[in-house]
Structure 1
Amino acid sequence: MAEAHQAVGFRPSLTSDAGEVELSAPMLQEIYLSGLRSWKRHLSRFWNDFLTGVFPASPLSWLFLFSAIQLAWFLQLDPSLGLMEKIKELLPDWGGQHHRLRGVLAAALFASCLWGALIFTLHVALRLLLSYHGWLLQPHGATSSRTKTWLALVRIFSGRHPMLFSYQRSLPRQPVPSVQDTVRKYLESVRPVLSDEDFDWTAALAREFLRLQASLLQWYLQLKSWWASNYVSDWWEEFVYLRSRNSLMVNSNYYMMAARAGNAVHALLLYRHRLNRQEILPTLLMGMRPLCSAQYEKIFNTTRIPGVHKDHIRHLRDSRHVAVFHQGRFFRVGTHTQSGLLSPRALEQQFQRILDDPSPACPHEEHLAALTAAPRDMWAQVRRSLKTQAQEALEAVEGAAFFVSLDSEPAGLTREDPAASLDAYAHALLAGRGHDRWFDKSFSLIVFSNGKLGLSVEHSWADCPISGHMWEFTLATECFQLGYAADGHCKGHPDLSLPQPQRLHWDLPDKIHLSISLALRGAKTLSGNIDCHVFPFSHFGKSFIKRWHLSSDSFVQMALQLAYFRDPQCLALFRLAVDKHQALLKAAMSGQGVDRHLFALYIVSQFLHLQSPFLDQVHSEQWQLATSQIPVQQIHLFDVHSYPDCVSSGGGFGPADDHGYGVSYIFTGDDVITFHISSKKSSTRTDSHRLGQHIEDALLDVAALFQEGQRLKRRGLGEDDSGHSRDSLPCHTRGSRAPTTATNF
């Protein structure tokens, strides 16, 4: 352990009466430094919490207010209207020589009370302003005078230089939508996929639900919304994730890709340092409307602990080591010395020591991590024995900042077979071999033998944009700030004084050997059943879509629906569908979505033991096409056009249904869209590669609609049909597949 390297420890030196103990100077120094580090952390957190608590004001504003009151008092003016004199009367009488001090204290107390009242007023005003969602409902590119006024007021009340959690106190409560509106939107959403008979039956259930149960369930949700800041988030975390007894592998984790290694651990820890100091800027819609930042708190030092009936998330305030897995062995690698974070070169040295360590894995240790991929109730029971027999090793893994897997196999894009290599890359990140990831950790960094990188992220603690934000920072920092020496090593010099990484030893009782074998068999079965397909669509990207004044996300979503159903649509219907998707998206962004509200109503009905056939029907539905966009959030980190190789290619997740697909996509620059598709090989209805071909066909077909519409418009103006548009696409023959090229890996 790097932290303990400099400590000499207690060295007992007994005198003749055995009553004295000598303490070594290095030990006392280490105790002093340890305490100093702890106090620095506490003071830093206290100061950051204070700054975010008074935002959008600042400590200097209190000083300005106090000075103004003192100046007014000096000019024989009383801005307090007599309140300061009453405060002075309540203060102890220390004698005539302290009369001026009593006046200063009275002014300070009055200034503090007035300052606090002003801050409270600012918080209330900002919360009311942020409750306005009319700007979301306006057409793309159009801004009403009301919205312009709102933007100006938000800019005035938002303050300057916000920290990550500065807006948390000012965010409005999550509104509970009208139950009538939610049911109406739900029926609209299922109408295209139900037969007339099935839709009539569902509509009848909905009417019965509105008549009998809806008002009571809605009342409980309204009550919760006033008591808690969010009426649904804690239930969503508990019942969707933590109460699920399924394997975390594939079902709850997702992966993210990159093509560089080396400085990644150091860059991740730099991100954690910025996170602890709240130096990460909050996410702002339109550069103005802040989003909640609460999920950032659990990126690091977090583990999902299995339970028999439900899991719980354990988050530590700090951790000064990472857990490392290599060839069936576990290690604890310290990340700090008394002087601070280890340099990239020192971390590289520690990882190289692990790679060079010839010691073999102990019996059953190699496959131990397969337990984290087992059904949760099984893993919870086994973990009890493991915690008794191997508590120190288990704590080292679960208490780590994050998990690192040094894979002995290469992965990533190859020029010889780009399509197959990307598919294998995605599969390795999503499932691995079933026993080389600690799926309970908030995220695992996978480093392949050829230096390629990836993340495997447990889903319950946060959504993808949070880990995506961290990954963007990591890749940009590793490439543009840390860099490499001419010999390929990390910059800097090794630290030969560092101790060897600590090998973790597991005392595995015989009774869990069978559990490990069963868990490994189940993990391998699940891993082998996942069909992953990744392909970059390079015919066009975001820039082409924006030329037609359409939302790029809605464009792709409609193309995905076309790919899944292969229903030909005309241009007008496509635009109508895009507009509808945008309306639903904006409704969800403003808290007026359908699924979370129906989910919360269902949970209330279960607590009340109130049967609702309509909610049972909604809850039992299986959605066969689960889609998600991975946003690119930090475009300021580097120029994506000048450095296309440094652009993240996104990541993916497993299908939500045994006969469905999981589709993720990311706009990599302006001219490429990278898709990640997963399905289960056991299904006779799905094929990831077939859907990938359909997605490509659908995107090109939809793009052709706009080109045809442009051609017809030109014909109406009397232009020659032979004229070429600058938006024209390469020739595409249905059924053919353009060579897959990817310069962004």
Structure 2
Amino acid sequence: MSFVGIKLLGNQQYLKIFSLCQRYISSDYNYLEKSSLSTYFFEKSLPCLPIPKLEETCQRYLEALEPLIEDQTKYEETIKLVNHFQNGIGSQLHKELISNDRANRHTSYISEPWFDMYLSARTPLPVNYNPFMAWKPDPSTEQNDPRIRVSNFIISALRFRRSLNENVLGPEIYHMNAKKSDTDFYRKIMKLSPSRYSWYASLLFKAFPLDMSQYKNLFNSTRIPLKGKDKLENYPNSNHIVFLKKGNYYTFKVIDDSGNLKSPEEIYSAVDYIWNLPDDYDRQSVGVLTTMDRDKWADCREMLIKDPMNGESLNQIDSALFAVCLDDDINFMNETKRDPLIELSHNFLHGFARIPVERRPVNRWFDKSFSLLFSSDGQCAINFEHSWGDGVAVLRLFNEIFKDSSSRKFVTPSTKTEPEVKSKVTKLKFNLNDSLKDEINSAWSQHSSAVANLDLNYRIYSRMNRSYFKKNKLSPDSMFQLAFQMAYYKISNGKTPTTYEAASTAGFKHGRTETVRSATNQTKKACALIHVGNHSKEELIQSFVDCSKKHSELTKNAAMGKGFDRHFFALKYLAGKKGLPIPELFTDPNYLHANHFTLSTSTLYGEYFSGGGFGPVVADGFGLGYGYVDQSLGVFCSSYVPAREGKQLMDAFVASLDQIGDVLEKK
């Protein structure tokens, strides 16, 4: 695969940490690393996520709204609503929010509302919430045999977990200058610092520790469907993983009674045995139920657990350390009729491979915290449930798995299987009555219909890369976002789209995300200037500089918790919790328009990525995952036809980048 994207991971400055930080690789097979600084060393000293001043939040909202509203009269009406809110109910809610925050310094003001938002959502998880990220092939060709790669990925993930569980996985730190701060001297000073003040001591080195609270739900965790609101369940004593193959479920104990990892030979033997099982498709596989509306899935689960055997099988899936999905019947690289990357993306995103196999089951369990996905052509990816975290922990796991598995190679083509291991693999069984079979058939049909109109596209652009934009003293991310604005301008007769870009607030205790409102007055002006086409090079370049400066300002503010979206969200949530009427500001058509994200975008940078993506957040929108693959720019685009045509936007996007390049290179 050769394109990049992921939803809600945050801005690029935080994503650099994974390649900058030194890692203490352990010689012990059971541990990925043994850091001198404990995993949660900085947690007590992390600053709380700041609550912006209400007047600043209101002003930022109006500024973001201005380029989206064409009717000046309607905009002025919203200004009045904002002023009324700021001086009335908004002020009261803001004061209470601050009071609650001061009484709960162990967490952030956004944590409870954000968890509640995710877990209360009744929309199906695939496409709407669960994203995927795909790995590059292993540098050693022979290591890409799917059975070998599955085994090594499992081992690396388990080594990661052991280090995490025993508090020796190094804490995440963003180093402004890694050569000076990512050193033994830095760590010695940190160890001498009282944990209560360690974060502040780290700042002296211009090294910023990040929140790691989400890591606790990375393994042995699942989302349980309940009527009205789901719950997250964690099983700390779990010692097995669950394999999915053609809709069948198998468990294998990968950790022994002493807490140690099973040997590479044992794990490889279990993988090889399951991979080669002749089992046919389970046409009544229960996994498709995880694609349902959450209330409907909750009803079906209640029906399932009335049978003790079903209840035990569900418990084995729920409590598994993670899921491993073996798509041993899929080889897209040999597909000649369709683009293999597009077909593979469909499979990784929602579990439906569009291949000529009648009634193929959905070989997924979307409720698991994460699942490792493998196809028979050696392609692999991770798909993860989103409520427990925003992907920071998944991103680290993703990178560590690749680095560890490609360097250590515990399983190789010469590894021998142990025949007796097959007796330790257990196939899960379900007893399904006619009602449950009907529900499974209905869920399959509904999911099939839901993804039938999902259109996926991608583009690779090699003319300009990160270095190119930096050489021209422009923010690479701002130029990507400007190109999105220009592309939409082209296909919509000059309209400005409501645009979401994710930024991480992981620099704060229990931080989640903030929104960068990438559609600005500056991008709107630049689009208009280029469209007219009769302006000087200097004027056009100045418009690019203005876009870059504004975008950098918005990105910095968001990362520092100084956006407006989460603040407004918390105030609205508090009003509902108190049983108050929804403030008029939040029912204003302009506010609703400002939160109907036509472009949902997120950037990701990583040397081990080959691709990834997510679905649109609105029916008439686009999901745009983008980033840099080697020396090229890559974009993944999802949309629903006939409401939107992704190819049209992607063609316009490439044309827009060309226009930017032409301006910068014009003599």
Shorter-chain TM-score category?
Answer: 0.7 to 0.9
Distance 1:500 1:391 in 2: 21
Aligned equivalent of 1:696: 654
Provide closer, same or farther for how the CA distance between residues 348 and 534 of structure 1 changes in structure 2, counting only shifts above 3 A.
Answer: farther
Q: Partner of 2:306: helix, strand, or coil?
A: helix
* Equivalent residue letter for 1:502: T
Q: Deviations over 1:443-493 (max 9, x none)?
A: 1111112221111111111113321221111122222221664xxx3x533
Are 2:371 and 2:384, in contact at CA under 8 Å, matched by a contact in 1?
yes
Q: Tell me what 1:457 maps to.
A: 384
1:205 aligned partner: 81
Amino acid at match of 1:508: L
Q: Quick one: structure 1 residues 347 and 585, their matched pair in 2 at CA, closer, same or farther if it must change by over 3 Å?
A: same
- Selected match of 1:579 from 549, 572, 590: 549
> 570, 587, 590: which one pairs with 1:616?
587
Give how far 1:601 is off. 0.9
Is the partner of 1:630 in helix, strand or coil? strand
1:535 to 456, 459, 462: 459
Partner amino acid, structure 2, of 1:201 = E
Look up the SS of the partner of 1:649 in the other structure.
Answer: strand
Partners of 1:215 and 1:604 lie apart in 2 by: 12
Q: How is 1:105-120 mapped onto 2 (pairs within 5 angstroms)? A: none
Partners in 1 of 2:479 and 2:166 — Cα distance?
39
How do 1:223-238 residues align onto structure 2 when only pairs under 5 Å count? Answer: 223-228=99-104, 229-238=107-116
Equivalent in the alignment of 2:632:
672
Please give the residue correspondences for 1:398-477 in structure 2 after superposition, counting only pairs within 5 Å: 398-411=318-331, 420-433=339-352, 435-477=362-404
- Counterparts of 1:356-435 in structure 2, within 5 Å, are 356-360=276-280, 365-366=284-285, 368-389=286-307, 390-411=310-331, 420-433=339-352, 435=362
Structure 2 residue runs of 5 or longer lacking an equivalent are 1-12, 14-34, 138-143, 179-206, 353-360, 491-526, 531-539
Deviations 1:503-533 (A, max 9, x none): 1010123222221122111111112121112
The equivalent residue for 1:165 is 40
SS in 1 for 2:464: coil
1:292 is paired with a residue of what secondary structure? coil
Asked which structure has the greater RCO (Cα within 8 Å, sep 6+), the reply is 2
Range that drifts further, 546-555 or 228-237: 546-555
Q: 1:254, 1:651 within 8 Å by CA — same for their partners in 2?
A: yes
1:524-559 CA-to-partner distances (Å, cap 9, x unmatched) read: 111212111233322232121221223222221222
Query: Would the aligned equivalents of 2:268 and 2:411 in 1 still touch at CA under 8 Å?
Result: no
CA contact (8 A) 1:426 1:534 kept: no
1:306-321 matches, cutoff 5 A:
306-321=225-240
Cα deviation, residue 666, structure 1: 2.4
Larger radius of gyration: 1
- 2:284 touches 2:437 (CA, 8 Å); kept in 1? no
Give the SS at the match of 1:664: strand
- Residues 189-236 of structure 1, C-alpha deviation per residue, up to 9 Å, x if partnerless? 111111123312222221221122111110111012112220012211
> What is the identity, as a one-letter code, of the residue corresponding to 2:370?
F
C-alpha contact (below 8 Å) 1:411/1:424 kept by paired residues = no
Amino acid at match of 1:209: F
Residue 284 (structure 1) aligned with residue 162 (structure 2): no
* 8 Å Cα contact 1:250-1:653 kept in structure 2: yes
Instruction: Tell me the alpha carbon deviations over residues 675-699 of structure 1, each in whole angstroms, 9 at most, x when there is no partner.
Output: 111111241xx22222222222222
User: Match of 1:352, as an amino acid?
Assistant: D
- Cα 1:604/1:699, change in 2 over 3 Å: same
C-alpha contact 1:323 1:397 (8 A) present in aligned 2: yes
1:592 deviates by: 0.9
User: How many Å separate the matches in 1 of 2:471 and 2:249?
Assistant: 52
Equivalence for 2:573: 603
Q: Which residue of 1 is the match for residue 200 of structure 2?
A: none
- Structure 1's 611 and 327: CA in aligned 2 closer, same or farther, altered over 3 A? closer
Residues 168/520 of structure 1: CA separation in 2 closer, same or farther (3 Å cut): same
- Displacement, 1:385? 1.8
Structure 2 residue aligned with 1:246: 123
Counterpart of 1:265, as a letter, is I
1:590 to 531, 540, 560: 560
1:496 aligns to 2:373 (yes or no): no
CA distances 1:315-344 after superposition (whole Å, capped 9, x unpaired): 222421111111221111221245731334
Per the alignment, residue 51 of structure 2 pairs with 176
CA contact (8 A) 1:630 1:651 kept: no
Q: Report Cα offsets for 1:342-384 as digits up to 9, x if no partner.
A: 334432321221233334466x533x11110000000011111
The one-letter amino acid of 2:613's match is: G
Q: Distance in 2 between matches of 1:414 and 1:507?
A: 37
1:515 paired to 2:485 = no
**What is the TM-score normalised by the length of structure 2?**
0.75
The aligned residue for residue 687 of structure 1 is 645
- Find the residue that maps to 2:566 and give its secondary structure: helix
In 1, Cα distance between the equivalents of 2:488 and 2:169?
39
The offset of 1:248, in angstroms, is: 0.5
Give the number of aligned pairs.
Answer: 527
1:654 to 615, 639, 649: 615
- Looking at structure 2, the residues matched to 211 and 169 of structure 1 have their Cα atoms a distance apart, in angstroms, of 36
Q: 2:489 pairs with 559, 565, 572, which one? A: 565
